[in-house]
Amino acid sequence: MSFIYFLISSDMQIIKRKFIALFILNASDILFTLMLFCTGVYERANAFTSGIADESIIGTFIKFGITLLLLILAYLGISSSVEKHILILNTIITTCMILYFFINLYHTAWCIIYLLT
């Protein structure tokens, strides 16, 4: 299966994999942010998450839990949806995956900068 097919496919099995990939990308974003925040390399830019989830273990679990719950609810909702709704949600999921990919790439660059200085 090619990566392009994975991105554009609206097959329910592939959408399930996209949800898993989206959760993994979100989890790595949380871990990168937490790590970089603790090093003092940069400050949080997202005022929403800094208000509800600080750098503590409880705050981190809240962020993981909310994301996981939302993804499960979205997946359960899409399972009984009509094709038009599935296509719309697939576009949203794919867009989020692409954005999270670039966010993680950004975090990786900051980690490299931190390690080299």
Q: Indicate the pTM of the whole model.
A: 0.78
Q: Work out how many domains the chain is built from and give that number.
A: 1
What is the tens place of the pLDDT at every residue in 79-105?
Answer: 777 888 888 888 888 999 999 999 999
Boundaries of domain holding 91: 3-116
Report CA Rg, the chain.
16
Cα distance between residue 76 and residue 80, in whole Å: 7
How distant, in Å, are the alpha carbons of 5, 31, 56, 108 from that of 117? 40, 21, 26, 14
What is the tens place of the pLDDT at every residue in 46-75?
Answer: 666 555 555 567 777 777 888 888 888 887
H/E element holding 87? helix 83-116
